[in-house]
Amino acid sequence: MCELFGMSSKLPTNVTFSISVFGERGGHRGPHRDGWGIAFNEGHDFRIIKEAAPASDSACLRFIEGHDFKSRIVISHIRRASDPTSPSFTNSHPFARELYGLTHVFAHNGDVRSVFADSRFAPNYYFAQGDTDSERAFCSLMDRLRAALSPDTAVDLSVKLPIIEEWALEVSKFGIFNFLLSDSRYLYAHRSTHLFYVQRECVSLVSNPMPRCVGGLTQEMWAPWRRHMKPSLMHLFLSFLKLGASAFGEPASVKWRLNRSDGLMIR
């Protein structure tokens, strides 16, 4: 299966210290050779870079590592295709669609191919450009959001979150449905298997108006996400694999978490 890594931060920060490790799993220290992608939030939009090639051999990824791209929300993905004939740019994650002036970005780990046979997920306004079950599922969510929301409610969680939750529950019945989703303001994470996190509170705003984390994430304790967590943090990192050491057991049964881009836990 594919692998996912995400970040939500109170202030713009970079992820170069972890992207290099994550990228090594894309063909060098892992079997995920069928594409990679990363999305950096930029206001109401995202800077998206992706390729249908191994991340471990990518000059584009080396370029990202060497430049100080800062963002409040980051979603990244390395792909191991279910169908070995399907690697292509259009099948590489993350996928993006616009709704009411806000770019929505989605990346998925798992296998939910039954969405193609279920009429509830047939495209209406948003159509897939590739042929993955991931993009088909994402487009069905965007259709539902477009039908139910307005420009005034595009980030109203009281209206939006129940739609996402219902959709995630329906798709999860088809198979493994780990995903990261962002609407340019919030980072949503859903898991069918494992979700691990690291949280950091870095240099204080008093001593440094542009705080940043120093060092990688591979030596820290990646804990399983547990119910009712309400961390006080500056940076929250999410992964569906352990990027480093962990002495923790299996994750608890909770499947749904939401994190605001200002670092406060909402649900």
Q: Name the average pLDDT for the chain.
A: 74
Which range in 223-227, 237-241, 257-261 is most confidently predicted, on average pLDDT?
Answer: 237-241
CA dihedral 95, 96, 97, 100 (to 10 degrees): 150
Q: What pTM did the predictor assign? A: 0.77
| pLDDT-above-70 percentage for the chain | 60
Please, which residues have CB within 8 angstroms of residue 116's CB and are 6 or more apart in sequence? 133, 136
Both tokens of 39, joined, read 């999305």
| 255 C-beta neighbours (distance < 10 Å), count | 20
| Mean pLDDT within 188-194 | 84
Q: Are 80 and 125 in contact (CB under 8 A)?
A: no
| Nearest of 129, 135, 134, 138 to residue 167 by alpha carbon | 138
| Rounded Cα–Cα distance for residues 204 and 212 (Å) | 9
Orientation of helix 133-148 relative to helix 157-172, angle to 10°: 150
Report d(CA 143, CA 81) in Å as an integer: 25
Confirm whether 60 is a catalytic residue. Answer: no
Reported as a pLDDT band with limits 50, 70 and 90, residue 217 is: very low
Show Cβ contacts of residue 136 under 8 Å, excluding neighbours closer than 6 positions: 115, 116, 121, 123, 128
Choosing from 2, 60, 202, 213, which is the catalytic residue? 2
Task: Mean pLDDT check: name the lowest of 38-47, 73-82, 115-124, 204-213.
Answer: 204-213
Indicate the pLDDT class of residue 196, thresholds 50, 70 and 90: confident
* Average pLDDT of the segment spanning 161-175: 95
- 130: which 2 tokens? 């590739």
Question: Residue 134: pLDDT above 70?
Answer: yes
Cα distance between residue 142 and residue 52, in whole Å: 24
Mean pLDDT of 92-102: 95
What's the confidence (pLDDT) of residue 252? 31
The pLDDT tens digits for 152-161 are 999 999 999 9
pLDDT digits (tens, 9 = 90+) for 48-68: 988 877 766 667 777 777 677
- H/E stretch holding 47 reads strand 45-51
CA 99 vs. chain centroid, Å, equals 18
Domains, the chain, in order of start with CATH, read 3-260 (3.60.20.10)
pLDDT classification of 202: cutoffs 50, 70, 90 = low
